[in-house]
A and B are shown apart, each in its own frame.
Chain A
Amino acid sequence: MANGSGSVLFEGVRRLGAVTIFLGQLLAQCLPALARPRLVVHQIYNTGARSLIIIMLSGLFVGMVLGLQGYDLLQRFGSEEALGSAAALGLLKELGPVVTALLFAGRAGTALTSEIGLMRATDQLTAMEIMAVDPLRYVAAPRFLGGVIAMPLLAGIFSVIGLYGAQLIGVALMGVDRGVFWSQMQDAVSMRNVTEGLVKSLVFGIACSLIAVHEGYHAEPTAAGVGLATTRTVVASSVIVLLLDYVLTAGFLQR
């Protein structure tokens, strides 16, 4: 038993070390990758623009649910006019960054892992190395940067659409005054709240993109290996996002 938990701990530390070293290698290649913006822009399109539909749909439904639940809770205390501020704070600080990151891991993260893993399995990365082209610079770094840049943009879009969904339910369905809804929101939301959401989505972007690219880059070059790496991307990204969310929330509340 002790041996089992010891080896799990050892494996966990080993993987953390491997990911940290990979992050260092990746960061060293980010500047050269930025010198060729075409590759990075293409990846922002791949990870960001192609995730827009799922992000917008999810944002709308999450906002609508927030409108329903928020109204139900607040009207018990006669505070239904606070629905705008509750929805805005919930979306900007928490739901926007977290749900976007979870959706990103499921859509863009898995796509990144399987794409890079298949490139590994079909010798494309080795071919680049033989052609004296560093695949870390050409393949991994642009995809990492694309994910890091796309995540805050997606989280912002998620929150805006979510607010529209909450307003749709709160104002159009439940009868909260439109002016009160928006003015309460303006009063409650400060730049600090926006920054909190932005920082969270940036950190989640780094974590999710790093995990996706790392798993793909080190996937076993077989069909099963790529499948396993893709699964690991979703599981690891989801757990890390929730863990980091707690750490960041606690940090922001202490300030």
Chain B
Amino acid sequence: MVIDVRDAYYAVGGRAIFSGLDLKVRRGHITAVMGPSGTGKTTLLRLITGQITADRGQVLAFGQDMATLSSAEVYGVRRRLGMLFQNGALLTDMDVFENVAFPVREHTDLPEPLIRRLVLTKLQAVGLRGAADLMPGELSGGMARRVALARAIVMDPEVLIYDEPFVGLDPISLGVILRLIKHMNSALGITSIVVSHDVKELASIADDSYLLAAGRIAASGTPAELRASDSAAVRQFMTGAAEGPVAFHYPAPDYATQLLAADE
């Protein structure tokens, strides 16, 4: 098991985000973590990468309990991870080439010709070798995400984490990212964790799926198993129905009463 979250509890300002969360990521698999907005998907990634620690329970990365590691050891774990951020999070004062070269320059003493070859190889893999000299501000959202993906894989990580990789992408960019995730996994053997609420896209690539709701795993299994689930909450999420256990409306006073009060 590459990542193993065991009975994790985490609260912010007295509000429980996770209460007894269990999740396992198998080596070489694509694991999808789905759930409605605000269920703590990004918080889960912060737990896995050691940016925050669980109040109770354990988060094991490569067999090491993240809560007991020193900051140097946490950095050691992170060097085995790559992460694709929702907005790319490219460093805005560097061009595309330097963004991808950044982790290599920071962690190795490789000679410049080798760094150049390595970066160009990764940019070629995401189809942006020709954009090496552009600044992040000159890229579209989809291009920025592909550059961020090249940066995430430049150090050949064992695990690649994708935070909402499909948000706001046009169909072509979405298809490209989807194929890249699958390719990274099958060709390079990278374990992938994909956090998203795009059910259809995830179902086409995921080996294992987890559905997050109310601070714990509401359902898990293959995408097909999730679709066949008897649970009303799982069915509502998988089919995108407005009516169901997960309320569309935020708690509010009676609609008619509030409108009449506004008239008065």
Contacts and interface: CB of A to CB of B under 8 A. Distances in A.
Interface in A85-128: 118-119, 122-124, 126-128
29 contacts: A118-B92, A119-B92, A122-B89, A122-B92, A123-B86, A123-B89, A124-B91, A124-B92, A126-B51, A126-B85, A126-B89, A127-B83, A127-B85, A127-B89, A129-B51, A129-B78, A130-B83, A131-B78, A131-B102, A131-B103, A131-B106, A132-B78, A132-B79, A132-B103, A132-B106, A132-B107, A133-B103, A133-B106, A138-B106
Contacts of A133: 102-103, 106
Contacts of B85: 123, 126-127
Contacts of A122: 87, 89, 92
A130 B87 contact: no
**What interface size band does chain A fall in?**
10 to 19
**Nearest 7 pairs between A and B by C-beta?**
A123-B89, A127-B89, A132-B75, A132-B78, A132-B79, A130-B83, A131-B103
Interface in B1-29: none
Interface of B: 49, 51, 75-76, 78-79, 81, 83, 85-87, 89-92, 102-103, 106-107, 151, 155
Interface in A125-161: 126-134, 138
Contacts of B103: 131-133
Tell me which of B76, B89, B90 has the highest count of chain A C-beta atoms within 10 A of its own C-beta.
Answer: B89
A151 to B, nearest CB: 23
Contacts of A126: 51, 85, 89
A46 to B, nearest CB: 10
Contacts of A124: 89-92
Tell me which of A119, A128, A133, A138 has the highest count of chain B C-beta atoms within 10 A of its own C-beta.
Answer: A133
Contacts of B79: 132
Nearest to A125: B89
A130 B91 contact: no
Given A122-B89, A122-B92, A123-B87, A130 B49 contact: yes
Interface in A187-239: none
Contacts of B102: 131, 133
Contacts of B151: 131
A123 B85 CA distance: 8
